[in-house]
Amino acid sequence: MESSAYELNALSSWEYLSLFLFRPLLAIIFVLSLLLLGWFLAWKLVLVHVPLVQEIFGLRKKPVNRKPENRRRLTQFYNNLNSQSSVSQWCCDIVSGTSKD
């Protein structure tokens, strides 16, 4: 009686293989698939729109802004100062009655 009970409780080699190899392997594959699915959804829904991620992965091409040709702001500023000072000098000369003409 004991030998037959032992044989019933004994696991076959396929059951050992299933218990110690297939189940852990399937569990690891399941967890990795969940992680990959979560990463894919986060990438498509959120991360693609983050400028830092776009810059790191080269997803966004920065538009090349050409500099305008009339960009000389300092030159224009000093030219305006000179023209204003000459106009104010001209106004002062007219008011005071001394004209260079």
Task: Give residue-wise pLDDT tens across range 50-71.
Answer: 888 888 888 777 676 777 666 6
Taking the C-alpha atoms of residue 74 and residue 83, their distance in angstroms, rounded to an integer, is: 14
Same domain, residue pair 38 and 2: yes
pLDDT 10s digits, 82-91: 676 665 655 5
Is 19 in contact with 11 (CB distance < 8 Å)?
yes
**pLDDT higher than 80, residue 24:** yes
Model pTM? Answer: 0.45
Q: Please tell me whether residues 35 and 79 are part of one structural domain.
A: no
Domain range holding 79?
A: 70-100
39 and 2 within one domain? yes
Number of domains in the chain: 2
Same domain, 13 and 31: yes
Does 53 lie in the same domain as 21? Answer: yes
Residues 58 and 74 reside in one and the same domain: no
Per the prediction, the chain carries an average pLDDT of 76
Hey, what's the torsion of the CAs at 20, 25, 30, 34, to 10 degrees? Answer: 130
- Tell me, yes or no, whether 41 and 89 share the same domain: no
